[in-house]
Amino acid sequence: MQKKFVIISYLLFLVPLIFIVNFLFDIITLKNIQGLPIFPSLLFCPIGLFFASKAHKIRKDVLTLCSIIANTVLFVFPLAYMVVGTVIFGV
């Protein structure tokens, strides 16, 4: 059960990460949805954080701890991105 939770939490981390990397480096051009790829992490990462914390309660492991940290950082990224963008560009 713990392995399923860890796999789910990492998948819920990787999906928004792929969107964010594509948005920042423009791998596949998506002109119509300009800033939208930043926001799926606000939906997916709390769910991934839930699964990672459940897995960490079952068995304390480095893999689960890394999943908790990764989902937390990716959850905070859009908020920091918006704040830094507002401070720098003033929009």
Per-residue model confidence (pLDDT) at position 85? 87
pLDDT mean across residues, the chain: 92
Q: What is the pLDDT of residues 63-86, one digit of tens each?
A: 999 999 999 999 999 999 989 989
Per-residue model confidence (pLDDT) at position 29? 83
Report d(CA 87, CA 62) in Å as an integer. 36
Per-residue model confidence (pLDDT) at position 46? 96
Per-residue model confidence (pLDDT) at position 91? 66
pTM (2 d.p.)? 0.88
Positive or negative, the Cα torsion across 19, 20, 22, 23?
Answer: positive
Report d(CA 68, CA 49) in Å as an integer. 6
Give the position of tokens 């709390």.
46
Q: What is the pLDDT of residues 28-67, one digit of tens each?
A: 887 787 778 889 999 999 999 999 999 999 999 999 999 9
Count of positions (residues) in the chain: 91
